[in-house]
Amino acid sequence: MRVVLVCSSGGHLIQLHQLKPWWEKHERTWVTFDLPDGRSLLEGEDVVWAHHPTTRNVRNAFRNLMLAVRLLPRYRPDVVVSDGAGVAFPFFVVARLLRIKTVYLEVYDRIDSATLTGRLCRPLSSLFLVQWEEQLRLYPGAKVIGGLF
DSSP string, 71-105: HHHHH--SEEEE--STTHHHHHHHHHHTT-EEEEE
Torsion region of 77: left, alpha or beta (phi above 0 gives left; psi -120 to 50 gives alpha): beta
CA 43, CA 56: separation in Å to the nearest integer? 29
Residue 37 inside a domain? The answer is yes
> When comparing pLDDT for 93 and 149, which is higher?
93
Cα Rg of the chain (Å, integer): 14
The arithmetic mean of pLDDT across residues 44-54, rounded, is: 96
pLDDT over 70 (residue 62): yes
pLDDT over 90 (residue 149): no
The arithmetic mean of pLDDT across residues 82-97, rounded, is: 96
Residue 121 inside a domain? The answer is yes
Residue 129 inside a domain? The answer is yes
The chain-wide mean pLDDT, for the chain, equals 95
Residue 30 inside a domain? The answer is yes
pLDDT over 70 (residue 49): yes
Q: Domain of 96: which CATH number?
A: 3.40.50.2000
The pTM for the full model equals 0.95
Residue 149 inside a domain? The answer is no
Domain count, the chain: 1
H-assigned helices in the chain: 11-17, 20-23, 36-41, 58-75, 88-97, 116-121
| Domain of 68, in residue numbers | 2-144
Residue 27 inside a domain? The answer is yes
Residue 9 inside a domain? The answer is yes
Residue 101 inside a domain? The answer is yes
Q: What is the pLDDT of residues 115-143, one digit of tens each?
A: 999 999 999 999 999 999 999 999 999 99
Q: Of how many residues is the chain composed? A: 149
Exposed e or buried b per residue across 56-68, where buried means at least 16 C-beta atoms within 10 angstroms of its C-beta: eeeebbebbbebb
